[in-house]
């Protein structure tokens, strides 16, 4: 129980420390979807792709101040591919604390996106802005969805990340056009749908430290007891060398017999 308490406190501290520049969403991978591999494919959308094998992307996201038309800011879209059906996943986005930004993450099944005109429009607008960057992001798409012929079955989702500037400054240029924010986007599968894979090294380190602390405490306890016992034995030996209790009482009696007018001082 003591070990679990130490781990819980440590994880709580880490979570509270990370809130300032981390946002996340947790989801369950959907059923596999039959994907046509003939043209056009998902590759034509020119979206970054995250998968368990390619789980981290560093990129810049467009940021705007909230407006009536975009209360959460502009949306950026990614593909989450090669998921294991029914497995729990977490997507985290990390950004510098020096860039105050409000992020909102939402995952959608492909069918839900194509049923919603607003989502389709948002996806199409973002895809158009990515056409000019197609050389830099094409590899990440091809690594997950390789174009060929026929069809394939794959569990995948579309991820929408809305980014709204969350600061005020007297700098008119920054208020008029916030610069893009550099972010790390991470796909983190859960082990046994309970524990994020990225926390396994941290949990192992905490466990080793906690177990080592227990053994160290036991060693120090035994060492302190040994020192106390040796000290007591040394004092007993000194006392015995001086004649012991009886000898001490005999000397006191002799002193009183020779000096009846003097009292024994209190100790």
- pLDDT in 10s for each residue of the chain, 267 residues: 444 454 454 455 454 444 448 999 999 999 988 776 655 567 778 899 999 999 999 999 999 999 988 899 999 999 999 999 999 999 999 999 999 999 999 999 998 998 999 999 999 999 888 876 654 444 444 444 455 556 678 899 999 999 999 999 898 888 999 999 999 999 999 988 888 888 777 877 788 888 888 888 888 888 888 888 888 877 777 766 655 556 656 666 666 666 665 555 554
pLDDT digits (tens, 9 = 90+) for 69-102: 889 999 999 999 999 999 999 999 999 999 999 9
Contact between 191 and 90 (Cβ < 8 Å)? no
Q: What is the pTM of this model?
A: 0.66
Pairing relation of β-strands 75-83 and 48-50? parallel
- The CA distance from 200 to 163, in Å, is 30
Backbone angles phi, psi at 191, to 5 degrees: -85, 125
Question: According to the model, what pLDDT value does residue 4 have?
Answer: 47
Q: Quick one: which of 62, 133, 49 has its CA closest to 99?
A: 62
Percent of the chain exceeding pLDDT 70 equals: 72
Confirm if 82 and 143 have CB atoms less than 8 A apart: no
Residue 90 parent element (H or E)? strand 88-94
- CA of 81: how far to CAs of 62, 183, 237, in Å? 23, 20, 78
- Residue 128: strand, helix, or coil: helix
| Long-range contacts at 205-211 (CB < 8 A, ≥ 24 apart) | 206/6, 206/7, 206/10, 207/3, 207/7, 210/2, 210/3, 210/6, 210/7, 211/3
CA atoms of 62 and 110, how far apart (whole Å)? 23
């Amino acid at each position: 129980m003591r070990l679990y308490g130490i781990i819980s406190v440590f994880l709580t501290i880490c979570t509270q420390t990370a809130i300032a520049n981390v946002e996340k969403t947790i989801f369950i991978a959907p059923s596999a979807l039959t994907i046509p591999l003939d043209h056009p494919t998902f590759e034509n959308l020119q979206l970054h792709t995250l998968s368990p094998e390619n789980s981290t992307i560093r990129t810049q996201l467009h940021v705007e101040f909230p407006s009536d038309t975009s209360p959460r800011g502009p949306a950026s879209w990614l593909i989450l591919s090669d998921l294991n059906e029914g497995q729990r996943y977490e997507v985290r986005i990390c950004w510098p604390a020096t860039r105050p930004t409000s992020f909102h993450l939402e995952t959608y099944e492909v069918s839900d996106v194509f049923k919603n005109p607003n989502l389709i429009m948002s996806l199409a607008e973002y895809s158009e802005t990515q056409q000019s960057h197609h050389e830099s992001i094409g590899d990440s798409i091809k690594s997950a969805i390789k174009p060929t012929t026929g069809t394939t079955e794959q569990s995948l989702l579309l991820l929408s990340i809305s980014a709204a500037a969350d600061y005020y400054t007297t700098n008119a240029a920054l208020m008029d056009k916030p610069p893009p924010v550099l972010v790390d986007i991470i796909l983190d599968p859960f082990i046994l749908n309970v524990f994020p894979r990225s926390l396994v090294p941290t949990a192992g380190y905490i466990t080793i430290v906690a177990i080592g602390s227990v053994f160290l405490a036991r060693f120090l306890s035994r060492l302190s007891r040994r020192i106390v016992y040796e000290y007591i034995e040394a004092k007993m030996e000194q006392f015995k060398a001086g004649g012991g209790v009886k000898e001490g009482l005999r000397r006191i009696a002799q002193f009183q017999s020779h000096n009846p007018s003097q009292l024994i001082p209190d100790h």
